[in-house]
Amino acid sequence: MSEPSSIALDRRSFIKAGAALAGSLIIDFAIPLGECPAFAQTAPAPFAPNAFIRIDRQGVVTLVMPMVEMGQGVYTAMAMLLAEELEVGLDQVRLEHAPPDDALYANAILQSQTTGLSSTIRAFWMPLRQAGAMARTMLVAAAAKQWSVDVEGCRARRGAVEHAASSRRLVYGELVDAAAMLPVPAREGVALKPLDAMSLIGTSVKRLEGPEKIDGRTEFGIDVRLPGMKIAAIAVSPVLGGRATRVNERAALAVRGVRQIVNIDEAVSVVADHMWAARKGLKAAAIEWNDGPNATVDMGTVVRQLEEAARHPGAVARNEGDVDKALAGAAQRLDAVYQMPFLAHAAMEPMNCTVHYTKDGCDLWLGRRPRRGRRVWWPT
């Protein structure tokens, strides 16, 4: 038996390896294991050909989700985009939120990692399909190499690669180590499925996040509980630009459990030990409002303002053809005006935020990012 080889391991690499061995490591984003040669020999990184996908040795496909679910079904729709090109069932995909990283996960329409403008599918229709196709291409290539056959004779289906001529089949979990050793193809060069070959996109499926919302497993922002935390109830001026003219702070503070009244003119907050005290204190404050310059604004006012604005030139997003010439030469012209009432684009969950402020920074828990805190650093 040969003597064990000596490995130079500095303090930084030793600490990284120790943390990994303790089972507290998320290797996709936290630590590059390649810096620790001793650990890299025994724990290869998972198959992650791009920022959106991980596949482990059990064949579990993880979609690293760049956007957040706001009730419109993007968790399911994004998973469908990936699953379609990766050739796995929707039931084989699990979701994990992406870390904040505009370089990897920016919404191309909004130019940042932002969910909004009903733009998620438009922005990620191509990137997620390409991500799935990249992984599929590498897994098929790994199987063909292992079997010593042409790639053209292999196909991916339901989380496995099949070789029809020899009836051989390998599931993705058996191929991930070999696939991880292959060069990653350029996303623009991978072949995407034609629209008429799609079997998942365009179908009606059950929402992935639905069951957890129904049975109460989903954690919303308002579910956050921290030791010693206080609860604030807030009243905002019912009219934009309004101000609080009278707040009975003495009556509010007389409510048991109320700790503080915060008045910023357009809103008043009552901070208390628990929600019941905060709500009771807010009612006791008997706030009186001055509606300000918009006191008489109604829907008719809004319509008139929009009609007036439409008579003036606006910003041009695209200028193509000659509209005036086309209208002048049209055989028939239809003019119609459509109006919709002013509606609130409001969340079903009460808008909320939990904040833990310390001398070093500020931890935030936001309703649009469930199960995850995010630290925001203030300048010192």
pLDDT tens digit string along 3-16? 433 334 444 444 44
Q: How confident is the model at residue 69 (pLDDT cuts 50, 70, 90)?
A: confident
Which among 53, 57, 58 has a CA at the least distance from the CA of 85? 53
What residue ranges do the domains of the chain occupy? 1-44, 46-210, 224-293
Whether domain 224-293 has CATH 3.40.50.970: no
pLDDT of 352 above 60? yes
Query: Given pLDDT bands bounded at 50, 70 and 90, which one contains residue 191?
Result: very high
What integer pLDDT is reported at residue 70 of this predicted model? 81
> Tell me, what's the pLDDT at 348?
73
Q: Is the pTM of this model over 0.95?
A: no
Q: What integer is the mean pLDDT of 231-250? A: 96
Could you read off the pLDDT of 17-58 as tens digits, one per residue? 444 333 322 223 333 333 444 434 454 567 999 999 999 999
**Can you tell me the mean pLDDT for 133-150?**
97
Judged against a pLDDT cut of 70, whether residue 125 lies above it is answered with yes
pLDDT confidence of residue 4:
39
pLDDT computed for residue 28 by the predictor: 32
Name the CATH code of domain 46-210 (choices 3.30.365.10, 1.20.120.160, 3.40.50.970, 3.40.1050.10). 3.30.365.10
Query: How far, in Å, are 25, 51, 257 from residue 29 at the CA level?
Result: 9, 10, 43
Q: Is the pLDDT of residue 205 over 50?
A: yes
